[in-house]
């Protein structure tokens, strides 16, 4: 390395250490006091100062499962599906519970990254209008018919920014 690059790296390193040193000083003094206290009190069990984390779940652990009505876009009808959410938070839909228990591949698998869960068609329409404004929209939006007749009272809309939306 030439002298210019060396001085640049040295300057960056010194700035980083200078920014980090107050945190290190505080943490070091806490750790040192803890060490002195444990020697004076003769504690047998050492407690960590790090945050405790839960042990990770085994891959494939089911967090939620239920039977729901899902709108099938291809046939334009509501179908009863068995929905499973595993510990990777992917939403998998199966034909029924027996298909899931037999190990069949899911009909659909949605990774909910960057999406929204909405619980009314009005919320869904507002979000749609905000992201996809209609330049020639009429002012009669209050009289608009629902785009899908709901089979049950409590709808859930999955808004995915780069995927097909689910409901």
Strand order in the sheet with 108-110: 62-72, 77-86, 91-94, 108-110
pTM of the model: 0.53
The pLDDT-based confidence of 12 (bands split at 50, 70, 90) is very high
As a whole number of angstroms, the distance between CA 6 and CA 117 comes to 52
Q: Is the predicted pLDDT of residue 139 greater than 80, yes or no?
A: no
Same domain assignment for residues 80 and 58: yes
Same domain assignment for residues 118 and 166: yes
Q: Is the predicted pLDDT of residue 21 greater than 80, yes or no?
A: yes
Which residues span the domain enclosing 118? 113-167
Count: domains in the chain? 3
Same domain assignment for residues 104 and 124: no
Same domain assignment for residues 132 and 106: no
Same domain assignment for residues 157 and 117: yes
Q: Could you say which of 71, 90, 111 is where a domain stops?
A: 111
Same domain assignment for residues 165 and 130: yes
Q: Is the predicted pLDDT of residue 132 greater than 60, yes or no?
A: yes
Same domain assignment for residues 63 and 42: no
């Amino acid at each position: 390395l030439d002298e210019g690059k060396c001085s640049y790296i040295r300057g960056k390193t010194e700035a980083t250490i200078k920014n980090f040193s107050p945190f290190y000083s505080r943490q070091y003094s806490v750790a040192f006091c803890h060490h002195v206290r444990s020697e004076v009190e003769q504690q047998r069990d050492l407690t960590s100062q790090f945050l405790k984390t839960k042990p990770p779940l085994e891959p494939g652990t089911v967090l939620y499962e239920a039977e729901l009505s899902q709108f099938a876009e291809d046939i334009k009808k509501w179908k009863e599906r068995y929905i499973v959410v595993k510990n990777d938070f992917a939403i998998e839909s199966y034909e029924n519970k027996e298909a899931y228990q037999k190990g069949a591949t899911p009909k659909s698998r949605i990774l909910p990254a960057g999406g929204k869960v909405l619980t009314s068609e009005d919320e869904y329409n507002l979000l749609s209008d905000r992201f996809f404004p209609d330049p020639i929209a009429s002012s009669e939006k209050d009289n608009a018919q629902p785009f899908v007749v709901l089979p049950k009272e409590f709808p859930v809309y999955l808004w995915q920014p780069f995927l097909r939306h689910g409901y």
